[in-house]
Amino acid sequence: MRGRYRNLDQVDHNKTILDILKWMRERRKKAKDLSNPIPHTEKKMKEQIHLNKTKTSYTWIGHSTFLLQMNGLNIMTDPVFGKRMGFQKRLTEPGLEIHELPEIDIVVISHGHYDHLEFPSLKMLKGDPTFYVPVGLKPLFQKQGFYKVIEAHWWDRLQYDSLGISFVPAQHWTRRNLFDMNTSHWGGWVFETGQQTFYFVGDTGYFRGFQEIGLRFDIDTVFMPVGAYEPEWFMDISHINPEDAIKAFLELGAKTFVPMHYGAYRLADDTGPEALHRLYNEWKRLNLPEEKLKVLRIGETCWLKG
C-alpha cells in the first residue's frame, strides 16, 4: 500500500459527503453572475516570447498556468489548457494556445488535482521538457509515457543548468480516483537565478509555512492563488481567500504579488471579479504600495530587468 501524505500540523481536508451535500444546497440558493469574464490582453507578445533567450519574463496563460522565462529557459507551471473541467465549461480561453508556445525546457506540477495536472495538455507541449513533480506522482507519469521525471520532497533543492529549483510546502490535499487519496504530495516551487527569485505557490490554504518559506528565500515575485475560496467553511483548509493571500504575501516578504487561480474554472462559488474586488479592497485597506500588486490580464507578459 502506498504511503499517505499529510499537511503541516496534521491539518486534514476531512470533509464528508454530508458536507458536500450541504454545500450543493447552499449553491442552489446563490445567484452568481458568470457573464463578466477576466479580460484578455490586447497585446500578446508571441514573437518576443519565442525569440527571447536572455530576458526574464512571465506570462499568465490562465488559472495556475504560467510561462516563465529565466536564464534562457522556458518553464511552465501546472499546464492546463482543457476546455472543460468536469461538467463545467472553461470560463475564459487560455492566454496562449499550446501551439503558440515556444519549446518548453521545464514543467513543474504542484499536485495531482485535474485543474493542475492534465496529461492531454502535457502531451501537446513542444520540446522535450523535464518534469518536476511532488513525491508519489512519478509512477503515474511513467504510465502516461513520461520518463524525464524528477520527484521532490518538501525542501528539496534541485538544479537545472544555472537555475535552482526548490519544492516547498503547501496546505492542500489531492485525489484523482477513488483509491489514491493523498498518495502523492503537494506543494509550491521556488526558482532562483541569482538575480531573480520566483515563487509559484501552487494550491493552498493559509498556513504557517509561509513564514518559514519567507525566511529561507529572498522572493522577488510570488504567484499567489486568490480564488476558489467560497464557501469558506468548506474551502478554507485547502484554498486561500484574498485577504489571507495578502497576509501570506507580507509574511513572505516578497516584492511583487501576482494573483492567480481565479476566473478560468468554476471550482467553487466565488467568481473571478469577486476575488479581485476583495483583493483590491484589502490592499487599499492596508495602504500597501500599488506598484507591488501586479494583476495581469490573461495572456499578458511582464518583462523584468536583470
Q: What is the pLDDT of residues 51-104, one digit of tens each?
A: 999 999 999 999 999 999 999 999 999 999 999 998 889 999 999 999 999 999
Strands 106-108 and 130-134: parallel
| Model pLDDT, residue 27 | 87
What's the pTM value of the predicted model, to 2 decimals? 0.96
| Model pLDDT, residue 2 | 59
| Model pLDDT, residue 233 | 95
To the question of domain 40-304 being in CATH 3.30.1300.10, the answer is no
> What percent of the chain has pLDDT above 90?
90
Indicate the domain borders of the chain.
40-304
| Model pLDDT, residue 50 | 95
HSE-up of 30 (CA within 13 Å, CB side)? Answer: 14
Determine the angle formed by the axes of helices 242-252 and 272-285, rounding to 10 degrees: 50
Contact predicate 153/171, CB 8 Å: no
What are 33-62's pLDDT values in tens digits?
888 899 999 989 999 999 999 999 999 999
- Taking residue 277's Cβ as centre, other Cβ atoms within 10 Å add up to 13
| Model pLDDT, residue 1 | 41
What are 5-32's pLDDT values in tens digits?
999 999 998 888 999 999 999 888 888 8
Higher pLDDT, 88 or 280: 280
Mean pLDDT of 235-242: 96
Q: Which residue has the cell 516547498?
A: 168
- Mean predicted lDDT score pLDDT of the chain: 95
What are 113-126's pLDDT values in tens digits?
999 999 999 999 99
